[in-house]
Structure 1
Amino acid sequence: MEVALKKRVVDGTNGHYRLTYDELELSLLAGNATATNIRLTPAMSADTRHRPAATIYHLRIGRLKINGVGLLRLLISNRLTINTITIDTPSFRIVRHRQVDTGATDSASKPVHEQITQTLSGIKVNRIVLQAGEFELADEHDATHLHIQKITGTARDIRIDSASLLDTARLYGAKAIQLEAETVDYVRPDSLYHLQIGPLHFQTTKEELVLHNLRYGPTLSKAAFYRRTQLAKDISNISISRIGLTGIDITRWVSAQTIAAAALHIDSGSIAIYKDKTQPNPPENKIGKSPHQQLLRLEQPVAIDSVLIGALDIGFTEVSDQTGKAGTVTFETTSGVIRNLTNDSLALVRNRFMELHARSRVMGAGDLTVDFRFDLRDSLGAHKYRAQLGPMSGTPFNKMLTPQLHVEIEHVAIQGLRFDMEANDRRTAGTLHLDYDNLKVNMLREDNEGGTSTKPIVSFFANRFLLNDSNPDANGVRHTGQVYIERPYSFSFFKMIWRSIREGTKECIGL
Structure 2
Amino acid sequence: MKPIWKWVIGVFVFIVLALSVTVWYFSKNWKPIVEEKLQEVIKKSTDSLYTLSYDKLDLNLAVGNVTLENAALVPDTAVYARLEATQQAPDNVYHIRLKSLKIKRFGIIDMLTNKKLTIKSISLQDPAIQLTNKYHAYNDTVASKPKKTLYESVKDVLQSVNVRDIDMENVSFKYAKITDGKSADFAVKDIQISVHDVLIDETSLADTSRLMYTKMVEIIVPGFTYNFANGIYQAKFDELKINTRDQNILLTNVDYKPVMNKAAYFKKKGKNVTMADLHFDTLRMEQLDFRALLDNQQTIAKKVQLKNGHAKLYNDKRYPKSPKNQIGQAPHQKLLRVEQLIDLDSVFVENIDVVYGEMSGKYYREGEISFNKASGVLTHVTNDSMRLAKDKYLKADLRAKVMNSGNLHATFSFDMLSKNGAYSYTGNLKPMQAPSFNRILTPLLNVEIGSGNIRSVRFTMEGNDYRSWGDFRFEYDNLKINLLNDEGDRKKKKMLSFLVNQLIINDSNPDANEVYHVGKVNHKRVPEHTFFKNLWQSLLDGIKQTAGISPEREARLVGSAQSAKKALEETKGSVKKTKGFFNRLFKKGEKDKQE
Same fold (TM over 0.5): yes
Cα deviation 1:287-318 (Å, max 9, x = unaligned): 22211122222233222222222111121102
1:251–1:215 distance in 2 versus 1, CA, 3 Å: closer
Q: Going by fraction, where is strand more abundant, 1 or 2? A: 1
Cα distance, 1:216 vs structure 2: 1.4
- Mapped to 2, the partners of 1:109 and 1:349 lie a distance apart of 33
- 5+ residue gaps, structure 2, are 1-31, 79-83, 550-595
1:56-455 alignment runs, 5 A limit: 57-95=94-132, 100-103=135-138, 110-111=147-148, 113=150, 114-117=152-155, 119-139=157-177, 144-249=184-289, 253=293, 258-447=298-487, 450-455=488-493
Q: Which moved more, 1:396-405 or 1:253-262?
A: 253-262
Q: Which moved more, 1:158-167 or 1:468-477?
A: 158-167
* Kept in 2: contact 1:168–1:254 (CA 8 A): no
1:11–1:266 distance in 2 versus 1, CA, 3 Å: closer
- Mapped to 1, the partners of 2:92 and 2:342 lie a distance apart of 30
Amino acid corresponding to residue 407 of structure 1 in structure 2: V
Matched residue of 1:278: which SS? coil
* Larger gyration radius, structure 1 or structure 2: 2
Cα distance, 1:3 vs structure 2: 9.1
Matched residue of 1:454: which SS? coil
* Kept in 2: contact 1:144–1:188 (CA 8 A): no
Q: Which residue of 2 aligns with 1:25?
A: 58
1:254–1:76 distance in 2 versus 1, CA, 3 Å: farther
Matched residue of 1:471: which SS? coil
Q: Which residue of 2 aligns with 1:495?
A: 533
Cα deviation 1:374-414 (Å, max 9, x = unaligned): 11222222111111111111001111122222221111111
Cα distance, 1:436 vs structure 2: 0.7
- Mapped to 2, the partners of 1:201 and 1:380 lie a distance apart of 41
- Mapped to 1, the partners of 2:365 and 2:546 lie a distance apart of 27
- Mapped to 1, the partners of 2:205 and 2:98 lie a distance apart of 28
Matched residue of 2:222: which SS? strand
Q: Which moved more, 1:133-142 or 1:161-170?
A: 133-142
Q: Cα RMSD over matched residues?
A: 3.1
Amino acid corresponding to residue 446 of structure 2 in structure 1: H
- Mapped to 2, the partners of 1:137 and 1:178 lie a distance apart of 20
* Kept in 2: contact 1:268–1:311 (CA 8 A): yes
Matched residue of 2:509: which SS? coil
* Kept in 1: contact 2:44–2:153 (CA 8 A): no
Cα distance, 1:458 vs structure 2: 1.4
Cα distance, 1:80 vs structure 2: 3.3
1:105–1:491 distance in 2 versus 1, CA, 3 Å: closer
* Kept in 2: contact 1:143–1:190 (CA 8 A): no
Q: Going by fraction, where is helix more abundant, 1 or 2? A: 2
Cα distance, 1:330 vs structure 2: 0.7
Matched residue of 1:72: which SS? helix
Q: Which residue of 1 aligns with 2:561?
A: none
- 5+ residue gaps, structure 1, are 46-50
1:253–1:39 distance in 2 versus 1, CA, 3 Å: closer
Cα deviation 1:181-230 (Å, max 9, x = unaligned): 22232232323221111222222333322211112111223233223333
Identity %: 32
1:66–1:161 distance in 2 versus 1, CA, 3 Å: same
- Mapped to 2, the partners of 1:44 and 1:260 lie a distance apart of 38
Matched residue of 1:446: which SS? coil
Cα distance, 1:133 vs structure 2: 1.2
* Kept in 1: contact 2:236–2:254 (CA 8 A): yes
* Kept in 1: contact 2:74–2:95 (CA 8 A): yes
Cα distance, 1:438 vs structure 2: 1.0
Q: Which moved more, 1:384-393 or 1:187-196?
A: 187-196
Cα deviation 1:124-167 (Å, max 9, x = unaligned): 22222222212122457779543333221222222223422222
- Mapped to 2, the partners of 1:192 and 1:162 lie a distance apart of 50
Q: Which moved more, 1:402-411 or 1:159-168?
A: 159-168
* Kept in 1: contact 2:356–2:369 (CA 8 A): yes
- More contact order relative to length (CA 8 Å, sep ≥ 6): 1
Cα distance, 1:11 vs structure 2: 10
Does 2:508 match 1:470?
Answer: yes
1:221–1:15 distance in 2 versus 1, CA, 3 Å: farther
* Kept in 2: contact 1:143–1:188 (CA 8 A): no
- Mapped to 2, the partners of 1:399 and 1:143 lie a distance apart of 46
Q: Which moved more, 1:120-129 or 1:135-144?
A: 135-144
Cα distance, 1:251 vs structure 2: 6.2
Could you tell me which of 504, 507, 511 is aligned with 2:545? 507
Amino acid corresponding to residue 291 of structure 1 in structure 2: P
Amino acid corresponding to residue 137 of structure 2 in structure 1: T
- Mapped to 1, the partners of 2:113 and 2:53 lie a distance apart of 32
Matched residue of 1:332: which SS? strand
Cα distance, 1:84 vs structure 2: 1.9
- Mapped to 1, the partners of 2:167 and 2:296 lie a distance apart of 28
TM-score by length of 2: 0.76
* Kept in 1: contact 2:45–2:154 (CA 8 A): no
- Mapped to 2, the partners of 1:4 and 1:80 lie a distance apart of 12
1:417–1:201 distance in 2 versus 1, CA, 3 Å: same
Cα distance, 1:249 vs structure 2: 4.1
* Kept in 1: contact 2:333–2:421 (CA 8 A): yes
Q: Which residue of 2 aligns with 1:48?
A: none
Q: How many pairs align? A: 502
Matched residue of 2:532: which SS? helix
Matched residue of 2:174: which SS? strand
- Mapped to 2, the partners of 1:125 and 1:44 lie a distance apart of 31
Cα distance, 1:362 vs structure 2: 0.7
Q: Which moved more, 1:356-365 or 1:177-186?
A: 177-186
